[in-house]
Amino acid sequence: MKKFTSKILVTTALIVSVSAIVLACGPNKNVTGVPGEPDNSTLAPYVVTGTVGEITNGKDGYMADLKSDDGITYSMTVSVLRMQDKYKRFNTGDKLTVSGDTVHLGERVNVLAKTITKIN
């Protein structure tokens, strides 16, 4: 009986130890970013206002040129997946304010639209 009890204790201790290690190695939801780089999690999204230019249709939305009042041309990616029920199709000549994350492609900034407001 003593041998059986010690096997149970060893097995239980092993299971508890492995469980603790697995849980400790899981993702920490309180940590963001890459060590040594600034934490951008609290920064506001990029916002640009401009007029829609050329539109290129894609699989789940479209891309459009957006020319700001100061003459800078941005790319805007409008995706059904990203915008969900806020997705809307705009036309060339519409004046918009777009906010979202950015991707820098060479000299051009591509705004991945999260919100779009049409300006009358």
- At 55-73, the pLDDT tens digits run 999 999 999 999 998 999 9
Kindly tell me if the per-residue pLDDT of 108 is higher than 80. yes
State the Cα–Cα distance between residues 15 and 21, nearest whole angstrom. 10
What mean pLDDT value characterizes the chain? 80
CATH architecture of 47-119: Beta Barrel (2.40)
Please tell me the predicted confidence (pLDDT) of residue 28. Answer: 45
- At 90-99, the pLDDT tens digits run 999 999 999 9
- Please give the full DSSP string across 63-88, using - where no structure is assigned: EEEEEETTS-EEEEEEEHHHHGGG--
* Pair 66, 53: CB distance under 8 Å: yes
- Tell me the two tokens of residue 10: 């060893």
Is residue 36 very low, low, confident or very high in pLDDT (cuts 50, 70, 90)? low
The residues spanned by each domain of the chain are: 47-119
- pTM across the whole model: 0.61
Kindly tell me if the per-residue pLDDT of 30 is higher than 80. no
